[in-house]
Structure 1
């Protein structure tokens, strides 16, 4: 990331998320980010882990916009992880934007932009200097506004426990 993110918009009521928001963030991730919605068992596992990780000493950070009728209208959630330090990341911290989602009824209001700006600002305040994310084609222009750029060197691999099995929530 080359540009400092703009502070969140004062007209969008974005706030830091806490453990109590884990269920709604998990729901938004399942509904709007994942290629297939999670089943109830996986939702419970994710909700419990995220609640713990959003708590004191956890590695998750999130900023949310509340929906007027309850629940969340939008969220941006990321994870901080340690790396070996270097000149471009002297604190040895990287932040991965893991979830950005907006309820369909609340889109085109700047909620995602405000939540992402607040999340990136929080990362930066905590010493994060390497920012990562996976962007959909639809969201790429928003992230480019913050200074993100495509990196052809990034590669990805998923390894399941066994070639024909996927881990169960109870493992």
Structure 2
């Protein structure tokens, strides 16, 4: 099996593609893919808030990726460094599934984040991906809630 490697800004387009094609309910159009790629590339630089591990496919694309976005929280005994991560994307191209790529990339990412002092890990799991995450130590939290809010448009029209 191919070994995961730390992603660089040059991997941003492929990570964005994998997320768009394999995670989102509707794939992103070119404009949104470009926006995601540009933002992710800046965040994947050393010292940035994005960390990702990827597995290369033989065709030069990525076979799989695991992406986390690190953010600060107030320190507490369970997160003394005040660092948390939201696992934003774990995706494998359909032609490369069932080979352990997602688990390998995510395990490498979790190990890297632990070495960085992150102790709080959060993610949203689909029904199909939950066994992978549970096998790595994630547990369900019935108290976790989610909401999306958009600012009201200035002209009174809905977006």
TM range (shorter): over 0.9
Tell me the number of residue pairs that the alignment of Structure 1 and Structure 2 aligns: 155
2:34 match: 44
Q: CA deviation at 1:70?
A: 1.0
1:12/1:110 contact within 8 Å kept: no
Indicate the structure whose relative CO is greater, using CA pairs within 8 Å and at least 6 residues apart.
1
Q: Which residue, 54, 59, 64 being the options, matches 2:44?
A: 54
Give structure 2 stretches of 5+ with no counterpart. none
For residues 8-157 of structure 1, what are the structure 2 equivalents within 5 Å? 11-157=1-147
Q: SS of the counterpart of 2:69?
A: strand
Give structure 1 stretches of 5+ with no counterpart. 1-10, 166-171
Give the TM-score of the pair, scaled to structure 1: 0.88
Q: CA deviation at 1:149?
A: 0.4
Distance in 2 of aligned mates of 1:20 and 1:106: 21
Aligned-pair RMSD on alpha carbons? 1.0
Distance in 1 of aligned mates of 2:151 and 2:17: 25
1:96/1:132 contact within 8 Å kept: yes
1:12/1:114 contact within 8 Å kept: no
2:5/2:54 contact within 8 Å kept: yes
Q: Where does structure 1 differ by over 6 angstroms across 4 or more consecutive aligned residues?
A: none
Distance in 1 of aligned mates of 2:47 and 2:138: 27
